[in-house]
């Protein structure tokens, strides 16, 4: 069974596909179509053109539905409350145990006037046309793994309660079919660190905080968060419970690392204290359709 849920930024939503839903979904457009703008340039005295690049078009989801008899006023009010024009929301598609989400902005809403059963049409614009998995995937590049379990016996030579996962490189495989997947990189300091760097091996991209002339220092207990998502590229440092933006420390040649299709090998280093870095990468897979 296909279940579609639309929830606005206030947490109010409608679930379509259930027998007791106040609106019955008749048709929906924009779920399965993927389009791109392809940019080319003409060549003087040469046949054809030169490919310059391409970008995915925004997604337009249009839903047509009808209400239940004798409940027009309450059904109409619910639509107006959930789909407020210009407001943001999350569209969730669930079928056969799989879920996909996509952010939208309400473009317009039109409700038929008259009749025992009344029809409504809602248009949603999705600036990022890709659907996402609903949950983050977390990959530990370097950190501490618990070794403490019940039941156990303490051997004569003692016991270790955790061990360091200290790989300098970690490969993340992206088989979702989408490129440019933003990530959230967290660096936790377990000691003194100077000028940390995160790198992607395949593309030789680096993201570095601090230089020899203007060093960036982390102390034990500090944390740095780097977000590389489309329209959400920031750097924050959390110290003594206070979170502060610190984009000004990134070097001029720093790149906001994103996941491409295939293997993405993430590494880390620092001018000082690389062994004190706990590095975690979080991301959500993107899909061109449901």
- The tens digit of pLDDT for each residue in 61-86 reads 999 988 877 677 888 888 889 998 88
As a CATH number, domain 137-287 is: 2.60.120.880
In whole angstroms, give the CA distance from residue 146 to residue 168: 19
Query: What is Dmax (Cα atoms) for the chain?
Result: 84
- Could you tell me what percent of the chain has a pLDDT over 90? 40
In whole angstroms, give the CA distance from residue 215 to residue 196: 10
Average pLDDT, the chain: 84
Residue 273 has pLDDT above 50, yes or no: yes
**What tokens were used for 114?**
């008259």
- Give the distance from CA 167 to its chain's centroid: 25
Task: Give this prediction's pTM.
Answer: 0.73
Q: Which residue ranges does the chain devote to CATH 2.60.120.880?
A: 137-287
Q: Which residue ranges does the chain devote to CATH 2.40.30.200?
A: 2-129
- The tens digit of pLDDT for each residue in 94-119 reads 988 888 999 999 999 988 877 777 88
Burial class of 147 by CB neighbour count within 10 A (0 to 12, 13 to 18, 19+): exposed
H or E element at residue 82: helix 72-82
Residue 165 binned pLDDT confidence (cut-offs 50, 70, 90): low
Rounding to the nearest 10 degrees, give the CA dihedral for residues 25, 10, 109, 129: -80
Residue 154 has pLDDT above 60, yes or no: no
Residues 6 or more apart whose Cβ sits within 8 Å of residue 223: 186, 187, 188, 189, 237, 238
In whole angstroms, give the CA distance from residue 220 to residue 60: 48
Residue 181 has pLDDT above 70, yes or no: yes
In whole angstroms, give the CA distance from residue 194 to residue 190: 12
Q: What class is the 2-129 domain?
A: mainly beta
Contact (CB, 8 A) for 206 and 197: yes
> Which position has the higher pLDDT, 195 or 55?
195
The per-residue pLDDT for 156 is: 60
Residues 6 or more apart whose Cβ sits within 8 Å of residue 193: 187, 217, 218, 270, 272, 273, 274, 276, 277
């Amino acid at each position: 069974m296909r279940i579609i849920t639309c929830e606005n930024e206030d947490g109010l939503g409608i679930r379509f596909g259930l027998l007791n839903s106040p609106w019955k979904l008749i048709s929906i457009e924009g779920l399965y179509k993927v389009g791109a703008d392809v940019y080319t340039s003409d060549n003087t005295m040469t046949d054809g053109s030169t490919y310059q690049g391409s970008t995915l078009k925004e997604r337009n989801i249009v839903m047509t539905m009808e209400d239940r008899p004798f409940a027009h006023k309450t059904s109409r009010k619910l639509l107006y409350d959930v789909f407020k024009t210009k407001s943001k929301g999350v569209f969730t598609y669930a079928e056969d145990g799989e879920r996909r989400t996509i952010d939208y902005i309400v473009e317009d809403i039109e409700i038929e006037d008259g009749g025992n059963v009344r029809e409504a049409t809602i248009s949603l614009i999705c600036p990022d046309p890709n659907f996402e998995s609903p949950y983050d995937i977390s990959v530990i590049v370097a950190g501490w793994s618990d070794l403490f379990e019940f039941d156990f016996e303490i051997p004569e030579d003692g016991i270790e309660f955790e061990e360091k996962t200290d790989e300098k490189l970690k490969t993340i495989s992206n088989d979702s079919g989408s490129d440019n997947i933003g990530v959230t990189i967290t660096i936790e300091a377990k000691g003194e660190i100077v000028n940390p760097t995160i790198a992607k091996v395949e593309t030789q991209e680096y993201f570095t905080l601090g230089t020899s002339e203007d060093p960036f220092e982390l102390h034990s207990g500090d944390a740095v968060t780097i977000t590389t998502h489309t329209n959400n590229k920031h750097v924050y440092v959390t110290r003594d419970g206070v979170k502060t933006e610190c984009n000004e420390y990134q070097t001029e040649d720093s790149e906001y690392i994103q996941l491409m299709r295939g293997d993405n090998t993430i590494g880390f280093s620092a001018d000082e204290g690389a062994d004190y870095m706990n590095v975690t990468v979080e991301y959500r897979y993107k899909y061109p359709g449901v």
